[in-house]
Amino acid sequence: MASTVVQVRMEESLRVEATSIAEQLGLDLPTAIRVFLKKMVAERAVPFSLSLPAQSRSATDGLSAMRELGRQAERAGVADMTLEEINAEIAAARAERA
């Protein structure tokens, strides 16, 4: 199979840090990049979630999210739970896992 060369410009600090992480995983940087590209092709998507940093969110976004969580709680029938009931549910779930 024919090979090709791909050049990527990046900050030196990014290359150094990425190389260190790849080596800790037993890979060199070119192999890590090939793994990423093969996964992207297999999934036909970027193989991880892309999102904006949390600091770019507005107060309106937070309020909208809280309202949606409230609607979900209403639909699930748990919107009127007390703090004690919530803590009891958490304790029961943790006990089941243990």
pLDDT tens across 12-45, in order? 999 999 999 999 999 999 999 999 999 999 999 9
In total, how many domains does the chain have? 2
Q: Which domain holds residue 25?
A: 12-43
pTM: 0.50
Write the single-letter amino acid at 73.
A
Judge if 89 and 62 occupy the same domain.
yes
User: How far apart are the C-alpha atoms of 46 and 35, rounded to whole Å?
Assistant: 12
50 within some domain: no
- CA-CA distances (angstroms) from residue 37 to 1, 26, 61, 73, 80? 16, 18, 33, 40, 48
Structural contact between residues 19 and 29, judged by C-beta atoms closer than 8 angstroms: yes
Mean pLDDT of the chain: 89
93 & 61 share domain: yes
